[in-house]
Amino acid sequence: MGVQLGMKPLARCLAGASVVVAVSLGFVACSKPFGEGGGGDGGGTGTDAEGIESSPPGDGAGPGPDSGGGSDASDAGGGESAAGEGSAGDASSGLCHGAFAAPTLVLAHNTQYFVDSFTLTSDELEAFVTLMPAGATTEERMVYEMHRAHPGDVFTMDTSEQVILTNVGPTPGAFDVALTVDGLTLFFSHRQDSDAGMLGVNIYDAVRGDGGAPFSTIATLGSGINDPTTNQFHAHPAGGDLFFTVAPVVAGAQGQRDLYVALLPGVARVPLSVLDGPTTNEANPVPSRNELELFFSSDRANPGVNSVVYSAHRMSPTVSFDPPAVVPLSLAGASTNVTPQYLTPDSCRLYVLVDQQDVYVSQRAP
């Protein structure tokens, strides 16, 4: 079953000025026992899209699925990884590594709904989108399936195909969606308590037999990933690992967000300490398929105010990530927060969420 997180500020708007959004890549692999602990970045204040106290509007300030990579003990320390020991040159051949062009709009919000999270099938034709009703005052996010004929087309807001993931507990719904490469397993988050509760958010998965079937088997992930003392969300798979965001619950509010990784099915989780800041929020980890690059959001440049995209790299899934760097993205319209949502299999297109309401895509040079 799915559980939903609390909600972010509902008032969101895009200003008219242009802004340069920095995004950097970086993820780590974990392949054996996950034993490393690490600090995370601190967060802002306010209620974020997951319904947890965090920075101002947008997942930006709080995003941060872990960015772990292989199956090793840690991103921070650089242990061995289940992904193997191939060199970066072998694993990344044929992938795009250049600069990102100015993003273009893919899915716009309307007067009824804001986009809360977004993911795609590998062919980029089928999207699973979490929508937040405009003006909502309680947790009301739901997931919908949307389609387009060609990867270059714009998605039209469509609520005719709701994906039924969970309807259990005082806060039914689902959010923070991500798919496995084969499109048969959908990871999502769900909030287990009422809006006035302790903000208990866990990661779930839903399975289907083939790409045209509905998701029928839904289950919460084990204690190796979902810790009862923390909230966990923004789960993104790569190889045999799951990258996600973790935030402790402090005095009934969400604390600082950090990036974590766990070898599925989640025996133990490890913080990506090398990427997490001591007093900032890191979230929304989006790894490349070979786990050598990780995109995530961070508010380290402007703590507690807004987040932008960063990336981190490494030469092999068996070593730690290098220090992260901002990824510049020119957007026509000032934004409060920008968070990565989906990276194509060839690493050539990055989809981002702007102000927790609109989806853009940026084409990358070879």
Q: What's the CATH number where 138 sits?
A: 2.115.10
Q: Is residue 39 part of a domain?
A: yes
pLDDT at 195: 66
pLDDT at 221: 93
Q: Is residue 2 part of a domain?
A: no
CA distance 294 to 278: 19
CA distance 350 to 23: 10
In tens, the pLDDT along 37-95 reads: 333 333 333 334 454 333 333 333 333 333 333 334 344 433 333 333 344 445 566 89
Lowest mean pLDDT among 66-75, 183-192, 292-301: 66-75
Give mean pLDDT, residues 101-129: 96
pLDDT surpasses 50 at 10: no
Q: Is residue 346 part of a domain?
A: yes
pLDDT band at 334 (very low <50, low <70, confident <90, very high): low
- Number of domains into which the chain is organized: 1
pLDDT at 332: 62
In tens, the pLDDT along 303-316 reads: 888 899 999 999 99
Using only C-alpha atoms, what is the Rg of the chain? Answer: 18
pLDDT surpasses 50 at 198: yes
Q: Is residue 280 part of a domain?
A: yes
> What is the pTM for the complete model shown?
0.78
pLDDT surpasses 60 at 226: yes
Give mean pLDDT, residues 166-178: 79
Nearest to 21 by CA among 100, 80, 121, 85: 100
Q: Is residue 10 part of a domain?
A: no
Give mean pLDDT, residues 212-236: 91
pLDDT at 167: 65
Tokens 């087309």, located at residue? 153
Extract the tokens encoding 251.
Answer: 């005095």
pLDDT surpasses 90 at 115: yes
pLDDT at 365: 94
Sign of CA dihedral 148, 153, 158, 164: positive
Q: Is residue 210 part of a domain?
A: yes
CA distance 66 to 61: 15
pLDDT at 150: 97
In tens, the pLDDT along 339-358 reads: 999 999 999 999 999 999 99
pLDDT at 231: 93
Q: What is the mean pLDDT of the chain?
A: 78
Instruction: Give how far Cα 255 sits from Cα of 55, 247, 248, Å.
Output: 10, 5, 5
Q: Is residue 6 part of a domain?
A: no
pLDDT at 39: 34
Give mean pLDDT, residues 99-123: 96
Q: What are the phi and psi torsion angles at 249 (to 5°)?
A: -100, 115
For 24, the domain range is: 19-363
Q: Is residue 3 part of a domain?
A: no
**Each residue of 114-123: b (16+ CB within 10 Å) or e?**
bbbbbbbbbe
pLDDT band at 196 (very low <50, low <70, confident <90, very high): low
